[in-house]
Amino acid sequence: MAKKPLSPEARSIINSKVSRRAVLAGAGAVAGASALAACGSGGGSSENTIRWGNWPLYLDVDDSGKNYPTLQAFIKDSGIDVNYFEDYNDNDEFFGKVQAQLKLKQDIGYDIVTPTDWMAARWIRLGYTHKFDKANIPNAGNILDTLASPSFDPTREHSMTWQGIMSGFGWNTEKVPGGVRTLDELFAPENKGKIVVLSEMRDTIGVILRSRGVDLQTVTENQYMSAVEFLEQKVSDGWIRGVKGNEYAEDLKSGDAIAVIGWSGDMFILKNDYEGKFDFAIPDSGGTISGDNLMIPYTATAEAKASAEKLINWYYDPAIAAEVAAYVNYVTPVKGAQAEMEKIDPELAASEFIFPTEKTMANLSVFRSLTPAEEGTWTEAFQKASGI
């Protein structure tokens, strides 16, 4: 497929620097997102129609909220229609609604799904995904080296990262002028009672483990449980005021929290919306990076699989990846996207939130996949320690 010049709609999106979560925070945004069902016509899969389930507001969309420039360019260029569904609210919830059909090898209503790393590992482990025909995805070689060989899919035969999410330290620059770059600085005496950490255990415990020099690709149960005990003590002693999901940003805005273990995308929005009042850094000892992954369920037909692979290839074109990154403001997994962004917005091209430097990427690690037994035991231990 030939490259297309940047469309006026895409250029407008990039210039506006709209973020996924900033849009979600807008009045009526969630209702608007729910109404965006598809680019093509409804119905089942066919040779010229594929169905993609993704998270809300995770793809470039124009000001009308009705058109996806990069997806529509793919449809025009390839002749393949795409039904695009913003159907992901939670990994477990999505998996729950398709699990029965997967077990019975029945059509689940999607030809591409977008689970987060740990859930992607489950899909692969259970044999619920097609193996890629890499001949249909020549751009697969553009994946960042740091994302090329995760433990759950070492040769990327079943998954390709859609976007990456960094976790590290966030802080109020007025209350913590020196910043936070180590666990000791996070738990400085003046921060006691005003610290919030993430309810995603792979990120919070991952940051703690990395501060101890533990390799997240080889972490043992003893190492993990020791980190959980550390967290539990900090919660019980009153250092941590909450273990939360996205709502931790509200604690920062209200002043109830001044330092956090948080996500890069959230901190990007706060830093821009509050003119530098907040900042973010990857811990000196290392942070975590996770991703949402493009995968093809094994219930997809051969024709739909081939079409889905062409779609994945499209989004691994650096120019296309840059357009998406400009909208979502998460880490693009595609080599060359930064050079493409330079041509249209040098400011965004310099953003560490979208294009972490090689030095930064080298300091980010993916948490290894867990066995079913570990997933149950480790999650339960984390939730108990966190009080959630």
**Single-letter code of the amino acid located at 290:** S
Alpha-carbon distances, residue 219 vs 161, 187, 192, 210, 245 (angstroms): 23, 23, 29, 10, 24
**3-state SS assignment for residue 174:** coil
Residue 207 φ then ψ, to 5°: -65, -40
**Single-letter code of the amino acid located at 88:** Y
Q: Is the dihedral of CA 312, 339, 346, 286 positive or negative?
A: positive
Q: Which of 319, 377, 353, 321 is nearest to 2 (CA)?
A: 319
**Res 47: pLDDT:** 58
160-207 pLDDT per residue, tens: 999 998 999 999 999 999 999 999 999 999 999 999 999 888 999 999
Q: Which residues contact 355 (CB under 8 A, 6 or more apart)?
A: 325, 331, 332, 337, 338, 341, 349
Per-residue pLDDT band at 344 (split at 50, 70, 90): confident
Q: How many CB atoms lie within 10 A of CB 103?
A: 10
Alpha-carbon distances, residue 281 vs 165, 181, 275 (angstroms): 13, 6, 17
Select, from the ranges 180-194, 331-345, 354-368, the one with the highest average predicted confidence (pLDDT).
180-194
Q: Which residues contact 271 (CB under 8 A, 6 or more apart)?
A: 277, 278, 279, 280
Averaged pLDDT for residues 241-252: 89
**Single-letter code of the amino acid located at 135:** A
Which tokens in the block code for residue 113?
């799904």
Beta bridge partners of 112: 52
Per-residue pLDDT band at 362 (split at 50, 70, 90): confident
Residues composing the chain: 388
pLDDT at 30 over 60: no
Contact 98, 66 (CB under 8 A): no
Residue found under tokens 């680019």: 39
Write down the pTM of the prediction.
0.75
Q: Which residues contact 322 (CB under 8 A, 6 or more apart)?
A: 14, 332, 337, 338, 340, 341, 344
Which tokens in the block code for residue 24?
């979600």
Q: Which ranges in 36-89 belong to alpha helices (H)? A: 69-78
